[in-house]
Structure 1
Amino acid sequence: MHPGSEWRDRPAEDLTSRARIRDAALAQFAEHGTKGATIKGIAEAAGVSPGLLQHHFGSKSALQEACDAYVVEAFDGLDRFGLNSGEITKSDFMEELLAKSSLVIRYMARAMVDGSPVASALFDTGATVAEEFLTGIAPERFPAGSSQASDAAAVMAAMHMATLVLHDHLSRRMGDDILAPQSSHRIGVAMLDIYTAMAEFAASSVGDGIRSAVDSHEKRSNQSSPSSTNGRDDE
């Protein structure tokens, strides 16, 4: 599916001029970046005149700000919705979720590559959600407020978002557009398989040996480092 074509299949109630412009902008910014996307191109993709676009949003920068706000809100909801209720385990829920999030995911991927201001907000949201998840499922290993939980959550967010940044390489290796609604499930399936295999590996004797070696290295590093707080002498 060509980026940006998803909005044409949306329900009629979401096809207001403003929503169509926003969705077209999401696709255009994702495909061409902030500098490459134009008012004319976005308006053409949305099927409206440049004048109507400017009537709703004023300028390209204001339109991008509206897209940023929409994506931050959508991403926050996509990560939390369904976890507590158990809906996320149902196939029809997952199918609808993946289809609706395609535009958001593509926009996020480009924001991460371009270093857009929204990228920091998206990463922080991802890390916050990851920390809530980890402290919820394994409070003994990841106590709330601990550095273990914070570090693991940051790494988990980076691992997951890296699949967005590197989606071109993933698509090439996997033989399909992995951000398209019909294919994006493959990332989730692969991650579950990896997590399952790594959990088994971590519980093995080799995994225990690696943990012991890392712990020993950490202890030696702490012993050899001068006593300080964030690189400053204690006051």
Structure 2
Amino acid sequence: MDPVNKHGDRPPEDLTARARIRDAALAQFAERGYAAATLRGVADAAGVSIGLVQHHFGTKDGLRRACDTYATDTLASLDGLGVAGGEITDSDFLARMFRHSPLILRYIARAMVDGSPTAATFFDSGAATAEVFLTRTWPERFPPGSDRARDAAAVMAAMHQATIVLHEHLSRRMGADVLAAENSARIGLAMFDVYTSMADFAASDTGAAIRDGARTYQRGTSAAQQNGPGDDRDH
């Protein structure tokens, strides 16, 4: 069986039995999916008896609920990672985040592929945090409560969280496991490069023309929907 800390989490001796079982379950659910994972497999990976797993968590569903709670509490939003409070600029904070997040990120990635309720909670939390960030930072561009702010925040959350779901493809293309603790900053650094370059492109004449064309198209489709298929005023 694969060890609990295969993906760079804490050494087993640093964990309580309950936490060791939970981390083993996070890894098993991430690698096998909920349907294929078993309590026996989790117990073997954690180095405990199946009876101890049942003592702490009851059933496999109870174990998944515990994993869901732990994952969502840890990575519920960007604010939870220290963005709003400013801790994210602290190198020690970043080091701790990168060291402890890979196992949870793998679990979330599998949950999002499987379409579990946890995935919806994680996405909605990320979108809500993105909306707060956009409206506070650029209130004139993204008025609070506006469709523009909502849409931009949802797309922002999808763009960021897609890197988690597609981590295997990113790892293949980038030549390293991007969710391993020593490599997990590479996605963020690449994202900064992309955002910086795209900001320049968006400000260019070509970018402005594409944006204007998209807005013209959107206005046209909105007008057509308002007129309805039975409207013959132009005939």
TM-score normalized by the length of structure 1: 0.90
User: Does structure 1 retain, via aligned residues, the 8 Å contact 2:25–2:63?
Assistant: yes
Q: Which residue of 2 aligns with 1:9?
A: 11
Q: Which residue of 2 aligns with 1:221?
A: 221
The change in CA–CA distance for 1:77 and 1:19 in structure 2 (over 3 A counts) is farther
Q: CA deviation at 1:85?
A: 3.0
Q: Does 1:81 align with 2:81?
A: yes
Q: CA deviation at 1:91?
A: 2.1
Measure, in 2, the Cα distance between the counterparts of 1:95 and 1:170: 21
Helix, strand or coil for the counterpart of 1:28?
Answer: helix
Deviations 1:6-48 (A, max 9, x none): 3443783xx1111111111001100111011111111111111
Aligned CA RMSD, in angstroms, stands at 1.9
Q: Which amino acid aligns with 1:206?
A: T
Q: Which residue of 1 aligns with 2:62?
A: 62
> 1:14-29, aligned counterparts within 5 Å?
15-29=15-29
The change in CA–CA distance for 1:180 and 1:107 in structure 2 (over 3 A counts) is same
The change in CA–CA distance for 1:3 and 1:153 in structure 2 (over 3 A counts) is farther
> 1:1-235, aligned counterparts within 5 Å?
4-5=5-6, 6-9=8-11, 12=14, 15-76=15-76, 79-226=79-226
Measure, in 2, the Cα distance between the counterparts of 1:153 and 1:29: 29
The change in CA–CA distance for 1:160 and 1:170 in structure 2 (over 3 A counts) is same
Measure, in 2, the Cα distance between the counterparts of 1:146 and 1:2: 48
The change in CA–CA distance for 1:10 and 1:119 in structure 2 (over 3 A counts) is same
Q: CA deviation at 1:67?
A: 0.5
Q: CA deviation at 1:222?
A: 2.1
Measure, in 1, the Cα distance between the counterparts of 2:40 and 2:3: 19
User: Does structure 2 retain, via aligned residues, the 8 Å contact 1:3–1:31?
Assistant: no
Greater RCO (CA < 8 Å, at least 6 residues apart): 2
The change in CA–CA distance for 1:3 and 1:9 in structure 2 (over 3 A counts) is closer
Q: CA deviation at 1:92?
A: 2.1
User: Which blocks of at least 5 consecutive residues in structure 2 are unaligned?
Assistant: 229-235
User: Does structure 1 retain, via aligned residues, the 8 Å contact 2:30–2:107?
Assistant: yes
User: Does structure 1 retain, via aligned residues, the 8 Å contact 2:128–2:153?
Assistant: yes
Helix, strand or coil for the counterpart of 1:225?
Answer: helix
User: Which blocks of at least 5 consecutive residues in structure 1 are unaligned?
Assistant: 229-235
Deviations 1:153-208 (A, max 9, x none): 11111111111111111111011111111111110001111011111110111111
Measure, in 2, the Cα distance between the counterparts of 1:182 and 1:2: 19
Measure, in 2, the Cα distance between the counterparts of 1:3 and 1:53: 14
Deviations 1:53-85 (A, max 9, x none): 101111111100111111111112654332233
Q: CA deviation at 1:95?
A: 1.3
Q: Which amino acid aligns with 1:9?
A: P
Measure, in 2, the Cα distance between the counterparts of 1:219 and 1:78: 33
Measure, in 2, the Cα distance between the counterparts of 1:90 and 1:11: 28
The change in CA–CA distance for 1:135 and 1:11 in structure 2 (over 3 A counts) is farther
Measure, in 2, the Cα distance between the counterparts of 1:22 and 1:2: 13
Aligned residues: 226
Measure, in 1, the Cα distance between the counterparts of 2:192 and 2:3: 27
User: Does structure 1 retain, via aligned residues, the 8 Å contact 2:98–2:181?
Assistant: yes
Deviations 1:106-154 (A, max 9, x none): 1000001111121111111111111111112111111111100100111
TM-score normalized by the length of structure 2: 0.90
Measure, in 2, the Cα distance between the counterparts of 1:148 and 1:122: 21
Q: Which amino acid aligns with 1:107?
A: Y
